[in-house]
A and B are shown apart, each in its own frame.
Chain A
């Protein structure tokens, strides 16, 4: 099988101009993911897990190294150097990112938030609404909450919403930045079910997890990060 993502010798450090310091986040990381695989990364906080994910998503600009992604539309794309417009396209259609925090326009209701991810991709209004409803009922979000603003939601509800809005796009590559961090057992199970479903559909995933139990039996490969370096678990 062909590799969908190949990370080659990525290094990233941050230059903080105000205190004149370099902070090394990760050093010479190489990793490759085949299509349909699920890879889990664990490690202490500050070990550089998110840095890798954010470098793939281009939220961070890697200093050195290449991130080769096999895109459906463009063929091989080097995510660390590609044109910004290409990245915008890939984020919309091919690469999803679930962060720990919900970032939402003010006065957008829960259902609109989910709907918008589909509308952005150019789907019809009716279809988007139906799909959004399905997604929210899958996550068992209280029906009364659908038309309220996510700002007032509990941590778990926000996170479920976050996962839902990324997953509804059915991206080819899904990056999960601790998607279960503050969830109760029941919601964790929901997320897990959805991840399994996506895996069956052939979505490639790369996730950061804290709880090893959650990863058990889900990941094809597990890696552990320490002080900016990576090693197989």
Chain B
């Protein structure tokens, strides 16, 4: 295990909706939560910086509306960050800010270096294509052209996530929520990305399916050494999976540390409140 191999370095990602005014740009205390009463600007996330290391699972917790999904989507180029930098060690040696490259390059990064599993399967899957072609589509986008190969890899991936043979030609719209989520994971894993973003993967799943998905994530981390950012408001999930955890409130990271330290010795008032709400 190498302890200092960063796969992703994120610096000061900020996303605001609105232009901001001199008052809120200068004086952060004026904001009500993350909203400026003068110019109605909403700061969805502010100055998010962290490092993601090889093979680690980083948890992100926080209440809804705290900007967890926003910064993950900024990193996956689904939203355009207002400013900030992201360096990927697998992209040009980590010297180029991935947030400022051309759309074509972003496409390449999305196909080869990052995978994403959305909270809402409709964002990640094409509902009117069969399960296997959903996975194949990503492989084709990643440059595979041999039909035999594509079939084989897709089937292997669907084996990993336990989608039965006889369902592989069905459309994901006919799948249960848990199956859709697992299919998304299979799709995200095609092309072997070194980084995976998981946005509330277990939310809305029943407990037995949730156990399946957690087991799957842990296996992927151990066997494939993929680094993951797991966004969740379920502390139990974070406790089981993450090595380190970031706590977000009103668009900012207020606390970070080892997961068990965050859960057992929380420093910030909000984190204490959050931990005390754990069942």
Contact = CB atoms under 8 A, between A and B. Distances in A.
* A joins B in a complex: yes
A18 interface: yes
Given A54-B264, A92-B1, 8 more contacts: A14-B265, A18-B269, A58-B261, A61-B261, A88-B56, A88-B243, A88-B258, A120-B222
A59 B259 CA distance: 8
A168 interface: no
Interface stretch (A101-109, A133-141, A207-215): A101-109
Nearest to A107: B211
Contact of A18 (B243, B244, B258, B272): B272
Interface string A196-207: 000000000000
Interface in A15-60: 15-18, 54, 58-60
Interface in B151-201: none
B276 to A, nearest CB: 8
Contacts of A87: 258
A2 interface: no
Contact of A84 (B258, B269, B273, B276): B258
Interface in A74-125: 83-89, 92-93, 103, 105-108, 116, 119-120, 122
A17 B211 contact: no
Interface of B: 1, 3-4, 53, 56, 207, 210-212, 214-215, 218, 222, 239-240, 243-244, 257-258, 260-261, 264-265, 267-269, 272-273, 276
Contact of A106 (B214, B244, B273): B214
Given A16-B272, A59-B261, A106-B211, A89 B3 contact: yes
A177 to B, nearest CB: 12
Which of the listed residues A16, A83, A107, A122 has the most CB atoms from chain B within 10 Å of its own CB? A107
B267 A105 contact: no
Nearest to B270: A17
Contact of B222 (A60, A108, A119): A119
Nearest to B4: A85
A84 B272 contact: no
B149 to A, nearest CB: 27
B222 A61 contact: no
Contacts of B56: 85, 88
A39 to B, nearest CB: 23
Contacts of B211: 105-107
B265 A17 contact: no
Contact of B272 (A17, A93, A106): A17
A16 B244 CA distance: 23
Given A16-B272, A18-B273, A86-B3, A61 B243 contact: no
A17 B269 contact: yes
Nearest to A121: B1
A60 B261 contact: yes
12 contacts: A15-B267, A17-B272, A54-B264, A54-B265, A84-B244, A85-B4, A88-B3, A88-B244, A88-B258, A92-B1, A106-B207, A122-B1
